[in-house]
Structure 1
């Protein structure tokens, strides 16, 4: 299920799901793909995996370039084989907890 605050990216890749899977699970390949020079450091921990089908990492940016006050988020990769041997690729980046806006009408709990 995708939350309203999730970012979703979908495309077709010319590589088989097994090759895309390696790019998402072999540390050197993953860092080369997801951590370009000058990007914020990313702390990642695998949450769940179904080989060659889906993979979810808990994600938190840190260091220079990170968004201040950024919370953990979940990044899920879904891989579906296509008829021509490629991969339908879906990436969903969703916050773990959606913060309440300062101007929200949601009542705040008061400590007793």
Structure 2
């Protein structure tokens, strides 16, 4: 049986949880720190992230909002890739969870991307691990630009 692995990144940001929440849940803002999308913060909403295709993968990440508790918790499925794409790893069926905790001077933001199965998803895990860290910097930048 294959073990599942997760990417976890966290950072304290100098903005209120409501500000970070809007950055995580407004489609236009998400496009600035992650990818173009049709996100709506409603449980059951199916949406896509769109990026550059790689090999047999069409560049579409299929998602569904699983949990939405503003401004504390956001969870969505993350499915993409192609099993016929060994250079980029096999199909990924995973879950992304954002947790926001108010702290003195701002918000502690934690992201867990769980469900990577090795060896098939090893390449995706290795490619995405450093990327998620940079995403937190993008969330901070977009939150600062938005101002509220």
Match of 1:69? 90
Shift of 1:99: 5.6
Q: Number of residue pairs matched?
A: 95
1:95 is the counterpart of 2:109: no
* Alignment root-mean-square deviation, CA: 2.9
In structure 2, the gaps of 5 or more residues are 37-50, 54-58, 121-148
In 2, Cα distance between the equivalents of 1:28 and 1:79?
20
In structure 1, the gaps of 5 or more residues are 102-112
> Which range is displaced more, 44-53 or 32-41?
32-41
CA contact (8 A) 1:35 1:41 kept: no
In 2, Cα distance between the equivalents of 1:8 and 1:99?
17
Task: Report the structure, 1 or 2, having the larger helix content.
Answer: 2
Match of 1:49? 68
CA contact (8 A) 1:58 1:73 kept: yes
C-alpha distance 69-29 of structure 1, shift in aligned 2 (>3 A): same
* TM-score normalized with structure 2 length: 0.54
